[in-house]
Each structure stands twice: as C-alpha cells, then as structure tokens.
Amino acid sequence: MAADTLTLFCLINGEPRSEGFKVKIVADTETDVSDLKNAIKEKQKDALDFAIPANKLVLWQATIPHDEIAGGGRIIKLDSLDDKTKLDDPWMMLSELTMNSSYGKSCIIVERPKELPLPPKKKIRITEGWKEYEAADKKTVLLPESWIHILKSDEFVPEPRGNFKLLKNDLQVGQCIEIPSLGQTPKDFGKYGPSIESPSRGQTPKDFGKYDPDQRLFFTEQMKDLWEDIYKDKTRTYRRVLSGPMGVGKTYLSYFLAARAYAEGWLVLYIADAGRLDTLVEEEADKEVVRLFLALNKNILTAAEFE
C-alpha cells in the first residue's frame, strides 16, 4: 500500500501569512521531524541561509486562529499564538501530528534562526505590533504602530495642498511669491523679507524688508528652468545635485522645487535641515526621514505604496 503524502502549510516566524509555503512529504512509518526539517530547508533555500544546517531549525506545530487568517498581510508571531507545540524530538513520527483543528488553521512555524540576517522591515514586523490603517485610497493596510503614530501626528504637517495652487500659475521671473508652509521651512526663511536668489544689483535701503513675517521669495530664472526640466521628465526618476558656495540660494531653490512638486501631488521628501541627520545615530536618522516623508505625503499614499 502506497504511503500517504502529507501537505503541510509552513511559515517563518514573523512573516505574513501571504509569505507562507507548502511542503509535501511522504508520511510513512519512517518519516520523522528531522525529515521535515530537511524538506523545509530544501524548499526555502533562498530564505534560510545555506550555512544553517537543517537539524538546527526549530519547528513548532501551531494553530492560527480564524480571525488571524483573514487578510494575507497579517503578521503571524509565535508569541501571540496560544495553541502551539514545540517539535523538539527529531525522531517524532510525522504520522503523529494532528493537523486538523476547528479553532483555526494548523501549520508548521519555523523559528527565525539567529544567524539569519533580519531586513529592517521584517525587524519592525517582529518587534512591533502591526495595526490596520486606512490609506488615501480607502483601502486597509497593515503598518507598524510607530508609523501609525506618525501618520496621526500633527508634527511637520504642511498646509492643505490647495493652498499651493498659486505655484502652478504662470509665474513671471522676478515676481515675488508667497509659499505656504511645507511643515518645515529653511532656517530664517521669511525673517528678513523676500529672499533674493540672484546677485545684488546695487544697493538696497537699510533694513529693507527686515523681519517680514511672510514666507516670500522672488521667482528666478533658475527656478523656472529647473522646474521645467523636472516636469519634462516627470515619468522617470530625476536626480540633480544642487552645489555651490554658501549664500548662492541653494536652500531657497530646493524649497521652491519641493513646494512646486507638492502642488502637483507628487510624492515628496523635503528635509529643511539635513545637517541634523548627521547628529543622530543611523536608526534614529532613518526614523526621522520616515517621519518627514509620511507627514508630507500621508493624504495621497495608497495602500499599494505603503506595501
């Protein structure tokens, strides 16, 4: 009589159910847990480092509750499961496994080996609880709690996008324009009156425009040319480095371009004081970048873009 083939749903701890995989193995009187470890290692060659021997894998038989199964993106963590049994006997026969449960879906969960590098995104998944968040397209996505806290915060939130429509008008070189707040502003922006991006053409009255409370600057030829160049390539990645000595207007030029892109509804990352990132440890600097990006774009980010 031919031996039965056992199909087991398997998952690496901390992964969403959508990244689970199936292992088919002959379940006869000689097939044991060590054979299952070898089968899992063979199935997951890319995910499980080749340097980790199969016999070092730690397996659990667990039941995922029905409410945890809904939505393939939901993260499955051993710590949150009540019904689980460690398969610590390598000689235990697979025929002894009970894989049927009315409580939920039975599966084999693989502990993530300590030797296996953990990508930052997956590290967040395991160390933080993930919750549902409704994206701009009204679709639900699972995000780390720290991200949801940022998304609900008023810190660094720009003025409504509609306030930036004036930047889409036919601006004339030399025109003085007021730029709404992007949630951040360049240092001293608006403190001394409209920012003049071109070299001085002579003299100006003493204290002219000093302490002007408005966030205004003069629209320059350089702004016009750079924006037109960016807009022509809007369907492709555009990269330019603004360089030059201090005082030539790089700060205000970049602020205008960021505000103009924001007015178009593009995804924008603007950092008014990038030097501050150098004072932070790498992990904190990464969080600061995420915080600024989400603050600027949370009202247009779709569920697919969050993924």
Q: How far apart are CA 239 and CA 231, in angstroms?
A: 12
Rounded alpha-carbon distances, angstroms, from residue 131 to 20, 148, 206 = 20, 8, 57
Task: For domain 4-117, give its CATH number from 1.10.3720.10, 3.65.10.10, 1.10.260.40, 3.10.20.90.
Answer: 3.10.20.90
> What tens-digit pLDDT sequence spans the chain (307 residues)?
456 788 888 988 877 777 888 998 887 778 899 999 999 988 887 777 666 788 889 999 988 876 655 555 567 888 878 888 999 898 888 878 766 655 567 889 998 877 666 655 555 555 666 778 899 999 988 888 888 999 999 999 999 999 999 899 889 999 998 888 899 877 666 555 554 443 333 333 333 333 344 567 889 999 999 899 888 877 766 666 677 667 667 788 888 999 999 999 999 999 888 777 887 788 788 888 999 999 999 999 998 888 7
| Sequence ranges of the chain with CATH classification 3.10.20.90 | 4-117
pTM to 2 decimal places: 0.59
The structure tokens 């750079």 sit at: 226
Residue 204, helix vs strand vs coil: coil
List alpha helices for the chain, DSSP H.
33-43, 66-69, 120-127, 145-152, 221-232, 250-264, 282-297, 303-306
Pick from 126, 142, 111: which is nearest to 10 by CA?
A: 111
